[in-house]
Amino acid sequence: MNRRSFKKNGVKTGLMAALVGVLAGCGISTTGEQTMFVLGCVPERQELLEGVDWDNVRPIRINAIEGNFRPMVFHFIRGKAYTLEINNLDGSANNIWAPGFLKQGVALHSIQIGNGQPATGCVNGIRIKPKSKIRIKFVAANEGRYEVHNTAFPIIPGQISGGVYYVDPPRPVTPES
């Protein structure tokens, strides 16, 4: 083995060791608390879903085109019910990676992929097959700013956001003068 190939192999081995270290630490916090990658959905938010007439919730339509979500920025009002319909117009899969939003920002009612049965549960993200549609039903729960990424590799630092979702406080009702 010559010196040049030895150096290349050493660099590759070092990079792989660093990657394994990063991956191993994903679900671990130095404070002893779970991270958003392993946290479940908060069960006490289920009362927000009670009494919602989902048939009367007008859907918000989003298109995935060339790997981008359009529109990219949304403001949701805390306590209000929403249905997002995301249509993947691309010939390849798109991903919604949004553990902060899906687990902490909303009380998730269901996710429906295509014409399948709506599924319930707690997820970090959703893969959208080419030329297909999904529906996400939720009630906005916790105020904040949540980034949404279109990625299959969510732990790579410096990723560009695929969208930003805000959960805002309810607007105050002002009396008419």
pLDDT tens string 60-69: 999 999 888 8
Shared-domain flag, residues 70 and 116:
yes
Residue 120: predicted pLDDT: 85
Per-residue pLDDT for 163 more than 50?
A: yes
Q: Which residue has the tokens 């006490």?
A: 44
Shared-domain flag, residues 83 and 154:
yes
Structure tokens, 139: 């009630």
The closest alpha carbon to 137, from 59, 39, 42, 41, belongs to 59
Q: What percent of the chain has pLDDT over 70?
A: 68
Shared-domain flag, residues 19 and 51:
no
User: Has residue 84 been placed in a domain?
Assistant: yes
Higher pLDDT, 145 or 177: 145
The residues that bridge with 107 in the sheet, in sequence order, are 139
Flag whether the pTM goes above 0.85: no
Per-residue pLDDT for 25 more than 50?
A: no
Q: What is the pLDDT of residues 44-96, one digit of tens each?
A: 577 899 999 999 999 999 999 988 889 999 999 999 999 999 999 999 999 88
- Which one-letter amino acid corresponds to residue 107? A
User: Has residue 174 been placed in a domain?
Assistant: no
Shared-domain flag, residues 162 and 75:
yes
Poorest-pLDDT segment among 14-28, 39-53, 112-126 = 14-28
Domain that holds residue 82: 43-168
Shared-domain flag, residues 61 and 148:
yes
Could you give the CA distance from residue 161 to residue 65 in angstroms, rounded to a whole number?
A: 15
Give all strands (DSSP E) within the chain, no chain letters. 59-65, 68-70, 73-77, 81-88, 94-97, 106-113, 125-128, 133-140, 144-148, 163-168
User: Has residue 177 been placed in a domain?
Assistant: no
Residue 32: predicted pLDDT: 34
